Amino acid sequence: MERWVYPTTGLKQEDLEEARVCMTRAPLRGEYAWDAGVAVGRFLAELKAGRLVGRRCRVCRRVMVPPRMFCEQCFRPTDEWVPLQDTGTVLTFSVCTVAWDMRRLEVPEVPAVIAIDGASPGMGILHKLGEVGRTVDEILDRVHIGLRVQAVWKPPRRREGAITDILYFRPVGA
Amino acid sequence: MAGRRVAIVGAGMTKFVRRALETGPELAWEAASKALESCEMTLDQVDAVVLGSAPDAFDGVHMKVEYLSPGAGAWGKPTIRGYVGGGTGVFAAIQGWYHIASGMFDTALVVCEEKMSSCHPHPQAAFNYIFDHTTERPLGPNLLWIFALEMNAYMTKYGLTKRDIALVAVKNKRNAAAHPAAQLGDPNITVEDVLNSEVLAWPVQRLDVSPVTDGAVAVVMAADHVARRVTNRPVWVEGVGWSLDTQYWTNRDLSYPTYVEEAARKAYAMAGIREPRKEIHIVEPYDPFDYKELHHLEGLLLADRGKAAELVALGIANRDGAMPVTPSGGLLGVGNPIAAAGLMKVAELFWQLRGEAGPRQVPGQPKRGLAQAWGDLMQVGTVIILGI
């Protein structure tokens, strides 16, 4: 099959740095204002008030978070808002030592999927863990799947109706 | 089997490189012209074109398929773009199949291209926009997060070690050393190299991950009566399947790819396969990260849940093992130009089943192979089964 591989030209870093090839550079800038929508709009308003809420579908009986106005499984409207706790269980986590552009982070971030108490089992949201250490080893020592965690909220005056109104989740009893 | 019989009759590709001098349309032309040349066909014998490419954001070009089309032979042809994220490469071949199986066309040229290097400083920037704009993006996520979260869920559920998983990276990068288009083949890599590589997002380390790649792959597909005229060794499409899971990824059990199982079951049913572990002779599962190969083998029902690592550890998945897995070298070794990577797996089966894979040839005259790709927000499975 070697005959059917085209001898494509791979460039080296030096080819770019020493301008051996021509190139055009320009940023693409876009700015958007995304509507939060019916379900997540209410979710954000409740976050501002220091509460987590979900939506129940009476047919499959799931309590869903993030909330939605329709059940994608039963394909019908969901029925009611359900207050949830601000505690939960770590379903999975990572210890991320780089930013999106591969720059090293001074202190690793700990993204996690957290199953929220009061929602159906396995209903998680994406957030971060905090107060769990400053190095990969320290964090791996303190965090495990199944860890019980609780939300740490921004002070009420600084909340703005955003997912970041919860600063992070920390181990219960920490 | 639904519709008319369809075969792949030709395949070609570019080299996979970190940064190509060629533009996207030039890469598409290189692969498409090689595929046509391989089966001694010309563009006027092509009835329709299927183009696969991942997000426009990589290239910074909107309507990317129109941009690529001159190089992909789409001038004056019915042309469609297929797009299901990383699942695109196998999905494009499925689209080629239904274009012809339906009776609408007798031949189709399927071209998948990706030029990831244009996006600066790193193509990960383009991936940041797959997260929900309101509930996730304010947290500053990056693409590594979701892989790391899924890998940890999978490892922890079955008590797998990093070493169990690193063996996949070693196998695939070694296999790729025999691939003439490979970007990262390495015949001498060891499991220690993988385990000692830089931690990016624990449990993901540098050598657990496939590289950023520019490249293109093309295949020519034809209806039964045309295929038999073009070649005495057509490689038949025996089964296809695809399925999409919920966008609410934080509500899923990340330790098991249900959507891959759904896609595989459709493909097995269509191919009349009852015992896939005996009836599939070569597997090319999607391996952008080493754990994904294992995850996908389980979703494909080719290993029990939590047991795929044993196939690798025992050598069963080696090129000369009882069930060769990723003899091409995969995304980890050959490279990962998103859509083109999936179609590279389809092309590998084409060459393997015809006995044309050279130093990578799987022994024992394999008769049937399966290629699978995966993508979107960790939620799509695309499967194709080819046989000779």
Is residue A29, in this structure, part of any structural domain at all? no
Q: Judge: A32–B133 Cβ closer than 8 Å, yes or no.
A: yes
pLDDT tens, position by position, B208-233? 999 999 999 999 999 999 999 999 99
Tokens of A57: 């579908």
Average pLDDT for residues B119-147, to the nearest whole number?
89
Mutation choice for A interface testing from B22, B56, B114, B202 by most A CBs within 10 A: B202
Look at residue B123 and tell me whether its pLDDT is greater than 70. yes
Tokens of B156: 């922890």
> Is residue B81 within 8 Å of B53, Cβ to Cβ?
yes
- Considering its fold, how many domains does chain A have in total? 1
Q: Judge: A2–B180 Cβ closer than 8 Å, yes or no.
A: yes
Indicate the DSSP class of residue A66.
Answer: S
Is residue A1, in this structure, part of any structural domain at all? no
pLDDT band at B122; cut points 50, 70, 90: confident
Q: Judge: B142–A5 Cβ closer than 8 Å, yes or no.
A: no
Is residue A100, in this structure, part of any structural domain at all? yes
Q: Judge: B143–A4 Cβ closer than 8 Å, yes or no.
A: no
Distance CA A72, CA B134 (A): 19
pLDDT tens, position by position, B40-49? 999 999 999 9
Nearest to B38 among A4, A122, A125 (CB): A4
Q: Judge: B248–A5 Cβ closer than 8 Å, yes or no.
A: no
Nearest to A128 among B131, B139, B254 (CB): B139
What residues of B are in contact with residue A64 (Cβ under 8 Å)?
Answer: 248, 251
**Beta-bridge partners for B178:** none
Look at residue B121 and tell me whether its pLDDT is greater than 60. yes
Q: Read out DSSP for B297-343?
A: HHHTTSS-TT-HHHHHHTTTTSTTSSS-B-TT-HHHHT---HHHHHH
CA of A164 to nearest chain B CA: how many angstroms apart? Answer: 7
Average pLDDT for residues A122-129, to the nearest whole number?
97
Is residue A65, in this structure, part of any structural domain at all? yes
Return the CATH number of the domain spanning residue range B6-121+211-387.
3.40.47.10
Start-end of H helices in chain A: 13-17, 38-48, 136-142
Is residue A28, in this structure, part of any structural domain at all? no
**Dihedral sign from CA coordinates of B262, B264, B265, B271:** positive
Dihedral angle over CA of B158, B164, B168, B171, nearest 10: -150
B311 φ, ψ to 5°? Answer: -60, -40
What residues of B are in contact with residue A101 (Cβ under 8 Å)?
Answer: 121-122, 124-125
**Dihedral sign from CA coordinates of A115, B261, B286, B79:** negative
- Residue (of B12, B14, B16, B11) closest to B333 by Cα position: B16
What range defines the domain where residue A154 resides? 35-171
> Is residue B45 within 8 Å of B107, Cβ to Cβ?
yes
Is residue A19, in this structure, part of any structural domain at all? no
Q: What is the pLDDT of residue B125?
A: 80
Is residue A17, in this structure, part of any structural domain at all? no
Vertex A157: Cα angle to A152 and A160 (nearest 5): 75
pLDDT band at A174; cut points 50, 70, 90: low
Q: Judge: A136–B199 Cβ closer than 8 Å, yes or no.
A: yes
Nearest to A123 among B14, B140, B251 (CB): B251
What residues of B are in contact with residue A164 (Cβ under 8 Å)?
Answer: 138-139
pLDDT tens, position by position, B245-279? 999 999 999 999 999 999 999 999 999 999 999 99
pLDDT tens, position by position, B159-195? 999 999 999 999 999 999 999 999 999 999 999 999 9
Q: What is the pLDDT of residue B120?
A: 85
- Residue A106's contacts (CB-CB under 8 Å, 6 or more residues apart) are none
Q: Judge: B202–A6 Cβ closer than 8 Å, yes or no.
A: no
Q: Judge: A126–B202 Cβ closer than 8 Å, yes or no.
A: no
Domain ranges of chain B: 6-121+211-387
Is residue A7, in this structure, part of any structural domain at all? no
What residues of A are in contact with residue B203 (Cβ under 8 Å)?
Answer: 94
